[in-house]
């Protein structure tokens, strides 16, 4: 691939990415904010985080060893820790360390 | 203390989990780009101009196969379509941020979005600058990670396998916090169940857009029910 071609790819990928970010603001900037958009603003964040959790776990295979065990155990620990202490950094840090130990030493 | 400095100090702790994840994933990106013959300048240009993890990873294949910008355009739009959701979700929250707004929009990532959803600054801290600095810091971590991976990739010796789970953990924590803060959980349940259903039907590479459509339809159909419950 030539430098010009690579630069073209860079520009195309950048423009496509930026357009997905700015699109809703162009679509709805003119109109005064309607009740539907304000409703979506209230409920979508909850649904969107749900998608993200599933997105992160999309490659987990429940039908083959280790059957999603490292992810399942780590998430249970994160949930328990977070419900108990409600300390974001502690929950994330402990969950990540547990996961790393599990995938590096236990479910290899 | 100036207004901006106060907002920066308030924003920083919210970005620490992302710092870990981005420096690691950014470094992984720099290392892979390097291995494909694209050095630090190219990797950094991508991270600074595109700034979208999954799209950048996919773009490595565009850069290493036959030149096809149309394919690159459509695949990038599909990979990043979820940003539309983030914009819709945060439209209200960032509407009064004035000149900072284009930056907050440009720097919107999965992780920045999730933190902006959940984080509220202390009383007396400027909300606009608070959100601006969260976005800016995350942007810097990603660039820093990319540069480190590109330049020092060969020197990494400790076993980093599983470190990227920090980002999964971040989303799980935010999900739990949101769950606790809400009395009614219908939107969260719709989000999780629709994505799982679409993941099973469409597979791991194509489920995001169908999930978004299903979620929008369900939330629209159930608007009266959800809003009625909220008023109770």
Q: How confident is the model at residue B167 (pLDDT cuts 50, 70, 90)?
A: confident
Give yes or no for residue B230 having a pLDDT over 80: no
> Which residues of A are less than 8 Å from B80 in CB distance?
16-17, 20-21
What pLDDT score was predicted for residue B165? 87
Nearest to A103 among B77, B84, B162 (CB): B162
Cβ contact B167:A52 at 8 Å = no
The distance of B124 to chain A (nearest Cα, Å) reads 23
What pLDDT score was predicted for residue B24? 85
Pair of tokens at residue B109: 């990532």
The count of residues in chain A is: 108
Give yes or no for residue B224 having a pLDDT over 50: yes
Q: How confident is the model at residue B232 (pLDDT cuts 50, 70, 90)?
A: very low
pLDDT digits (tens, 9 = 90+) for B15-40: 998 998 899 889 989 988 888 889 99
What pLDDT score was predicted for residue B138? 97
Give yes or no for residue B1 having a pLDDT over 80: no
As a whole number, the mean pLDDT across chain B is: 90
CA distances from B135 to B41, B131, B140, B219 (A): 23, 6, 9, 28
| A-contacting residues in B 70-99 (Cβ below 8 Å) | 72-73, 76-77, 80-93, 95
Round to whole Å and give the CA distance between B100 and B124: 18
ipTM over 0.90: no
Q: How confident is the model at residue B87 (pLDDT cuts 50, 70, 90)?
A: very high
> Which residues of A are less than 8 Å from B195 in CB distance?
50-51, 54-55
What pLDDT score was predicted for residue B178? 87
Nearest to B117 among A5, A49, A86 (CB): A49
Burial state string for B91-125 with b = 16 or more CB within 10 A and e = fewer than 16: beebeebeebbeebbebbbbbbbbbbbbbebeeeb
Spatial CB neighbours of A34, under 8 Å, sequence gap ≥ 6:
none
CB contact under 8 A, A58 and B84: no
pLDDT digits (tens, 9 = 90+) for B105-136: 999 999 999 999 988 899 899 999 999 999 99
Domain ranges of chain B: 3-175, 182-232
Q: Does A28 touch chain B (CB under 8 A)?
A: yes
B42-56, B88-102, B127-141, B145-159: the lowest-pLDDT one:
B145-159
Task: Report which of B230, B171, B143 is spatially closest to residue A49, judged by C-alpha positions.
Answer: B171
Pair of tokens at residue B200: 């099973």
Nearest to A53 among B62, B182, B192 (CB): B192
Cβ contact B122:B12 at 8 Å = no
Q: How confident is the model at residue B188 (pLDDT cuts 50, 70, 90)?
A: very high
Domain ranges of chain A: 62-108
What pLDDT score was predicted for residue A63? 92
More confident residue, A108 or B15: B15
Sign of CA dihedral B148, B149, B154, B155: positive
Max mean pLDDT range (A71-85, B21-35, B158-172):
A71-85
Cβ contact B132:B13 at 8 Å = no
Give yes or no for residue B73 having a pLDDT over 60: yes
Round to whole Å and give the CA distance between B190 and B101: 29
More confident residue, B156 or A28: A28
A29-38, B40-49, B211-220: the lowest-pLDDT one:
A29-38
> Which residues of B are less than 8 Å from A103 in CB distance?
161-162
**What number is the average pLDDT over the span A51-65?**
91
Round to whole Å and give the CA distance between B194 and B177: 20
What pLDDT score was predicted for residue B229? 59
Give the nearest chain A residue to B89 (CA atoms).
A41
Pair of tokens at residue A29: 């900037």
């Amino acid at each position: 691939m030539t430098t010009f071609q690579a630069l073209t790819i860079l520009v195309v990928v950048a423009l496509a990415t930026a357009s997905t970010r700015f699109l809703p603001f162009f679509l709805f900037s003119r109109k005064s904010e309607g009740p539907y958009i304000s409703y979506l603003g209230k409920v979508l964040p909850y649904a969107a985080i749900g998608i993200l959790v599933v997105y992160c776990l999309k490659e987990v295979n429940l039908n083959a060893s280790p059957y999603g065990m490292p992810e399942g155990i780590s998430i249970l620990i994160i949930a328990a820790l977070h419900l108990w202490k409600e300390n974001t950094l502690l929950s994330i840090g402990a969950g990540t360390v547990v996961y790393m130990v599990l995938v590096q030493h236990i479910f290899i | 203390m100036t207004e901006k400095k106060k907002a920066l100090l308030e924003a920083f702790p919210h970005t620490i989990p992302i710092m870990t994840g981005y420096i690691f994933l950014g470094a992984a990106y720099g290392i892979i780009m390097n291995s494909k013959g694209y050095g630090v300048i190219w990797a950094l240009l991508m991270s600074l101009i595109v700034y979208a993890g999954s799209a950048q990873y996919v773009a490595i294949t565009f850069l290493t196969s036959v030149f096809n910008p149309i394919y690159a355009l459509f695949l990038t739009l599909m990979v990043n379509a979820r940003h539309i959701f983030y914009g819709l979700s945060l439209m209200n929250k960032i509407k009064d941020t004035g000149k900072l707004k284009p930056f907050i929009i440009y720097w919107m990532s999965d992780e920045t979005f999730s933190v902006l959803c959940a984080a509220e600054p202390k009383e007396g801290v400027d909300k606009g600058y608070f959100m601006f600095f969260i976005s800016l810091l995350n942007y810097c971590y990603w660039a820093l990670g990319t540069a480190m991976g590109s330049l020092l990739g060969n020197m990494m010796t400790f076993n980093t396998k599983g470190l990227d789970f920090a980002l999964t953990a971040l989303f799980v924590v935010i999900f739990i916090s949101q769950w606790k803060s809400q009395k009614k959980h219908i939107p969260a349940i719709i989000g999780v169940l629709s994505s799982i259903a679409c993941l099973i039907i469409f597979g791991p590479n194509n489920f995001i857009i169908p999930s978004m459509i299903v979620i929008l339809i369900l939330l629209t159909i159930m608007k009266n029910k959800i809003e009625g419950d909220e008023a109770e």
